[in-house]
Amino acid sequence: MNSAGTIAICDYGMGNLRSVEKALERVRARVVLSADHDLIGSAAGVIVPGVGAFPEAMRRIRALGLDGLIAERAEAGVPILGICLGMQLLFESSKEHEGSAGLGLLGGSVEPLTAVGLKVPHIGWAPLRFEAGHAEATGGALLEGIVEATPFYFVHSYVAHPSEPGELVASAAYGSRFSAIVGRGNVLGAQFHPEKSSAAGLRLLANFASICAAAKLGPALAR
């Protein structure tokens, strides 16, 4: 099976995958929802979704062999977008529950959200502040047409701490400031749910589809 020109949503059984799929279809992206290595391996872009606990997500991803596949695709230059827990999985490790190693595509760790006096999980809309990484080509392209301070919809108890400040594309605040969009080259992540963030979220997904269509791929893609 081949899915050239499509965006593959990795289906490892956690999260509201249907909403991500429908939002991408709304912005006229071709999309497949699958754990199939051939489909994900031949896609023009890969989305790592997810809702739930980090260690369980990594267990499922490893059991399906998706950890190696996602890393291989990232290495080949295929745009990767992690959403919510999926963004956290891109990092090296998490302190959630018993702790777990992540996919390690971005440097840094995932730690509890510090929100003294506020209710956790953080659920709701929060405006973005653009950070240094915003100037970086791919991360910036994700925000094409989106103005600073636009609110997006978040549901999370943990936050990612990129080790490289330049990999922080946008932040939001809830008790404390945290990573909202991260990125290095073709590896991107959003802590919020673009598929639930109304017109701005759809725009961000459309931007990701454009990034996928324009991606320059290394020789490793020839499969």
Partner 1 sequence: MSVLKRVIPCLDVDRGRVVKGTNFVGLRDAGDPVELAERYDAEGADELVFLDITATHEKRETIVDLARRTADNVFIPFTIGGGIGSVADAQSVLDAGADKVSVNSSALARPELIGELATVFGSQCVVIAIDAKRAVAEPAVPTAPPRWDVYVAGGRRRIDGCDAVGWAREAAERGAGEVLLTSIDRDGTNLGYELELTGAVAAAVAVPVIASGGAGEPAHLAEVVLEAGADAVLCASIFHYGAFSVRQAKQAMREAGVAVRL
Interface ranges with partner 1 (CB under 8 A): 16, 18-19, 22-23, 26, 51-52, 118-119, 121, 123-127, 151, 153, 155, 173-174, 193, 195-199, 201-202
User: Cα–Cα distance between 29 and 42 in angstroms, integer?
Assistant: 15
Asked about 10 being catalytic, the answer comes back as no
Shortest Cβ distance from residue 106 to partner 1 (Å)?
25
Q: Which of 84, 122, 131, 167 is catalytic?
A: 84
Cis-peptide into 55, omega within 30 deg:
no
**Are the beta carbons of 187 and 75 closer than 8 angstroms?**
no
- Nearest to partner 1 of 23, 169 (CB atom): 23
Tell me, yes or no, if 195 is annotated catalytic.
yes
Catalytic residue among 122, 134, 156, 193: 193
CB of 78 or CB of 190, closer to partner 1? 190
**Cβ closest to partner 1, residue 91 vs residue 174:** 174
Contacts of 7 (CB under 8 A, 6+ apart): 24, 29, 30, 31, 32, 43, 44, 45, 46, 47, 208, 209, 212
Tell me how far, at minimum, the Cβ of 174 lies from partner 1, in Å. Answer: 7
Partners of 170 in the beta sheet?
130, 181
> How far apart are CB 144 and partner 1 at their closest, in Å?
18
Instruction: Count the residues in the chain.
Output: 223
Rounded CA-CA distance 107/120 in Å is 25
Catalytic residue among 96, 131, 167, 195: 195
Counting DSSP H helices and E strands in the chain, the numbers are 7, 14
Would you say 26 or 59 has its CB closer to partner 1?
26
Structure token pair of residue 200? 């701005």
Minimum CB separation from partner 1 for residue 124, in Å?
Answer: 6
- Active site positions, annotated: 84, 193, 195
